[in-house]
Chain A
Amino acid sequence: MWLDISLIVIILSGIVLLGSSRIGTIIQLFAFQSLVLSSIPLQVDRAGLNWHVLTIAFGTLIVKVFVMPNFLFWAIRHVRLRREAPTILGYGKTMLLGGILVGMAFYISSKLTLPDRYFSRLFIPAAFSIFAIGLLLLVSRVKAITQVIGYLVMENGIFLFSMLLLDKTPFLIEMGILLDIFVAVLVMSIVINNITEDYEDTNTLNLTTLRD
């Protein structure tokens, strides 16, 4: 019950992300989505709470809800224009496309053999949906910072998927993945910082000097 509600909230926050244009709102929406996401490991674990599950939930909370949004705000601290530039598709159409992707996610999931533990019928479709929404956000926006958020939303979808394997994935690997994503955002923030120093904006349409 609570699990289904959380999953629906996660999908909806993704759709809202697709329609938002203020960079600050986008970062906060991502933080909110990650907050709900970090409660998922506690909800799906039926064997009772153990340190493994607690560490994953707590680590996700710290890294994705507090540290990463702060990095991203740091990277754009000198940028005055904090709205997304007009996109090719427009927000309405992007949201509509997001809805279609969610539908496709449900269709694809219905074709797959379900693994023996899948917690909820919404689980795999939700993971696919979030992944696809992140990818859509990444390709439809032009500001570097929104593209990073798109990447992180994709990563949230992958995180949901990995919950299916919660009992079998080695702890070391999970921490390695979290560390990698953390460093990825760190490196991306530094590059965005450099972009804003060079161009006084994070619009990637400026990055066109290298081409064939």
Chain B
Amino acid sequence: MLLFLILLPFSGGLLAFVLPKNSLRKILLIGVASIHLAAVLGLWSGGMPDNGSGPVFLGLDVLGKLILTVISILFAAVSVYLWGYLKNERACNRIFTGCLLLLLSSMTLVSVSAHMGLLWVALEATTLMSAPLISFERSPQNTEAAWKYVLICSVGIALALLGTIMLAISSGNFKTVFLNDLLNHASVLTPSWLKLSVIFLLVGYGTKMGLAPMHTWKPDAYAQSPAPIGGLLSGALTACPILAILRVVQICNRADLSSFIEPILMVMGVLSLGVAAVFILRQKDFSRMLAYSSVENMGIIALGLGLGQAAYWPSMFHLINNALTKGFMFMLAGNLYQHYRSRDMGQIQGVYAQNALMGVLLVLGFMSLTAIPPSGTFFSEIMILSAAVQSKHYLIAAMFIVFLSVIFIGMAKGALQMFHHGPASKQESSPMVHPVSSMAPILVLGAIILALGLHVPVFLENVLRSTQTSLGGR
């Protein structure tokens, strides 16, 4: 079953390279995405997964399953959205569709790999498969963004490979990095090598996640790629390095090194929040603002993981909400860009006056981004804050509140202006209409975001609690 999930998009990707027509490739994309989603949702009906205890390459625990589901939902939404979006792009989409499907394949491999080396191989593959997506429109700016993305992420990931090898060296007598072996024998890992390895792994995977100060590729990559791809990158692709970091946290907790890893994660998290706050305040480009919001949310998740046990499941909940919101907002932004022909927030004005539905959706997305109740992000951020206070990290809690407030002000300035002001000229007041394929995925994601904000289903709550046990090892 797991092999099927990897090979389906993989063979689809190869097929996309040989299919002769753009329209056939689009059908293939939606077909593969929906079968993938159906299969992933089907995995949940099989009860709680059991990973066995032997050395296996592929295995699915609750963390991987949760992240795989987020990836699959977002990918399906984006693939439907691309149906209408690609109509406006005349260029041949052979490489684009092929790489997109191979990206899904490698993201699936990340979430099901139970071997730290395989995890690395899959994560590097995600970087390489997403680079052609960023330079799809092929302008000098796109080239610049793709270059920064590939180089910074590859170097970051190279650090993580070194960390993985050190992890294997630390495992002295068995010398393997099968996750099961590492977790079962965590107490005999050599501490000096393990600590060195944790630093390299955190910096390396942190780069791919976009934590400050290794985030510099992020605004360029998200803003230059086609809008729905920005959503896929910031929602689904960032979940992959987060999974890698969750594995590191898992190993550290088992090896009694949580007091070593937690301060590092907290510092990285707060630093990301601070950097995001500074840059969001003076941002004019909508996509770049969303990218800095992604830096912020990665920071919140890292901070949550650094605060220990009590903040684990709020962090996981935050991950889900952030992924859905980012996909939602980038697709919405894609619709707005096609209407206004600009990404400048000063140019995009009077959305509500032109199309009431788009206006309402914009406000919904804004609420979820800035954690105004009723949204899931409000809930998770409050839980993380209370975990910080309860563990007596008062300074961290204070900085958390200050940075979030600054970010709120920065985003409110931009987003509400887009919502409110009247159309600047007569020409722009042409009716804003979007095809069904460009609205349906936004509406579905919006409904899920709203539902999660109002009520967390018992099923999901149980899953989140079991991620906590899985991470904490207790």
- Write the residues of chain A forming the contact surface with B, with a CB cutoff of 8 angstroms: 111-113, 115-116, 131, 135, 138, 144, 147-148, 151, 154-155, 157-158, 161-162, 164-165, 167-170, 172-173, 176-177, 179-180, 183-184, 187-188, 191-192, 194-195, 198-199, 204, 207, 209-210, 212
Contact = CB atoms under 8 A, between A and B. Distances in A.
Contacts of B145: 210
Given A165-B168, A177-B117, A147 B151 contact: yes
Interface string B9-47: 000000000000000000000000000000000000000
A169 B117 contact: yes
A162 B169 CA distance: 9
Contact of B172 (A115, A158, A179, A188): A115
30 contacts: A111-B192, A112-B192, A113-B192, A115-B193, A138-B155, A147-B151, A151-B158, A158-B161, A164-B165, A165-B165, A165-B175, A167-B175, A168-B168, A170-B115, A172-B118, A173-B117, A176-B117, A180-B124, A180-B125, A187-B128, A187-B132, A188-B151, A194-B135, A194-B138, A207-B148, A209-B144, A210-B141, A210-B223, A212-B219, A212-B282
B246 interface: no
Nearest to A163: B165
Interface in B101-151: 115, 117-118, 120-121, 124-125, 127-128, 131-132, 135, 138, 140-141, 143-148, 150-151
A201 to B, nearest CB: 12
Contacts of A209: 140-141, 144
The 6 closest A-B pairs by CB, nearest first: A176-B121, A173-B117, A168-B175, A198-B140, A207-B144, A180-B124
Between A151, A187, A195, A210, the greatest number of chain B beta carbons within 10 A of the residue's beta carbon is seen for A210
Nearest to A186: B128
A179 B147 CA distance: 20
B433 interface: no
B402 interface: no
Given A147-B151, A176-B121, A212-B219, 5 more contacts: A113-B190, A177-B117, A184-B127, A188-B151, A194-B143
A168 B176 contact: yes
Contacts of B220: 210
B275 to A, nearest CB: 10
A1 to B, nearest CB: 25
A180 B126 CA distance: 10
B409 to A, nearest CB: 17
B150 A187 contact: yes
Given A113-B193, A116-B172, A191 B143 contact: yes
A72 to B, nearest CB: 14
Number of contact residues on B: which range applies?
Answer: 35 or more
B401 interface: no
A71 to B, nearest CB: 14
A167 B176 CA distance: 10
B154 interface: yes
Contacts of A170: 57, 115, 117
B224 A210 contact: yes
B196 interface: yes
B453 to A, nearest CB: 31
A86 B206 CA distance: 32
Nearest to B145: A210
A154 B193 contact: no
A36 B78 CA distance: 47
B394 interface: no
A162 B150 CA distance: 23
A191 B150 contact: yes
Contact of B283 (A151, A168, A212): A212
